[in-house]
Amino acid sequence: MNATQTLIALWTLVLKEIKRFTRIWPQTLLPPSITMAMYFIIFGNLIGSRIGDMGGFSYMDFIVPGLIMMSVITNSYSNVASSFFSNKFQRSIEEMMVSPMPNWVILSGFVFGGMARGLGVGLIVTVVSLFFTRLTMEHPLLTVLVVVLTSALFSIGGFINALLANKFDDISIVPTFILTPLTYLGGVFYSISMLPDFWQGVSMLNPILYMVNVFRYGFLGVSDIPVVWALAAIFAFIIVLFLAALMMLERGKGIRS
């Protein structure tokens, strides 16, 4: 395929993915908006008013970046995991496999589709948060960069999950038993400076902590961990996981007998 044909193929796949999650918007776009509005009301307003300041900011201002990031992570991941696995299940993945599209285009198409949903939901949640607080952004470029990279990283993660999955249960195990606990323990609702030293050290092993903190730094200008380290870690994870996913795709893991 020449460069133009490759771009057309990539765009076709991305557009198909966007059409998919917008077609089923009551399942994909609406629930996170409602859930996050509940978080803002209950944790931000009702409970948050009794908690007081967190890291020098109101509790609502503290949790908003974390909740936006949580939405981006879960939606990026689950979009690619469910879409790619559905393609495997319905065998419509064969449409792509018999075509001349290179594997990196297939992988990128699904990843961009996941990013579109993750970032779209992130934007919706941001708009919802404006009903509860006034958002200010200390470092807008960094904020956008980190949310885009995080979305890409978890979209790739969702792709690998779907590639290895044999049944629908397999694509819910990782989000339920790994992603959600790591997100909740990743400093969305609290600053790790509140934890004893030992648990602070344990928390530093949680990759989501870095993403939430850099994102929060973009909004509030404060972070529990060094921003450069966090960005480097996200970049490294993206490269490693992308190459791993591509290698599995080349070998036909989970899709070719």
Partner 1 sequence: MAEPALSIRGLTKVYGNGFQALKGIDLDVQQGDFFALLGPNGAGKSTTLGVVCSLVQKTAGKVSIFGIDVDKDFAKAKYQLGVVPQEFNFNQFEKVLDIVLAQAGYYGMTSREALPRAKQLLTDLGLWEKRNGSARMLSGGMKRRLMIARALMHRPRLLILDEPTAGVDIELRRSMWEYMRRINQDEGTTIILTTHYLEEAESLCRNVAIINNGEIVRNTSVRELLAELDTETFLIDLAEPVAEVPQIEGFELHQLEPTQLSLLVHRGQRLNDVFNALSEQGIQVVSMRNRANRLEEMFVSMVEASGPGAIDQRVNIPSTDRSPAEHRENQA
Binding site for partner 1 (CB under 8 A): 1-2, 4-6, 8-9, 11-13, 16, 19-20, 23-24, 27-28, 31, 78, 82-83, 86-87, 89-92, 94-102, 168, 252, 256-257
Decide: helix, strand or coil at residue 54.
Answer: strand
Among the listed residues 147, 137, 24, 13, the one whose alpha carbon sits nearest the alpha carbon of residue 76: 147
> Residue 60 or residue 93: which is nearer to partner 1 going by CB?
93
Q: Provide, rounded to whole angstroms, the least separation between the CB of residue 67 and partner 1.
A: 19
- What are the angstrom distances between the C-alpha of 254 and each of 186, 203, 228, 244, 249? 31, 33, 36, 14, 8
Task: Find the shortest distance in angstroms from Cβ 44 to partner 1.
Answer: 25
8 A C-beta contact, residue 29 and residue 120: yes
Smaller CB separation from partner 1, 20 or 139: 20
Closer CB to partner 1, 4 or 50, in the complex: 4
Least separation in angstroms between CB 7 and partner 1: 8
- Given a contact cutoff of 8 angstroms between Cβ atoms, the answer to whether 74 and 28 are in contact is no
Measure the CA–CA gap between 101 and 98, rounded to whole angstroms.
Answer: 8
Tell me, rounded to whole angstroms, the distance of Cα 255 from its chain centroid: 24
Least spacing, CB of residue 97 vs partner 1, in Å: 6
12 vs 200, which CB is nearer to partner 1? 12
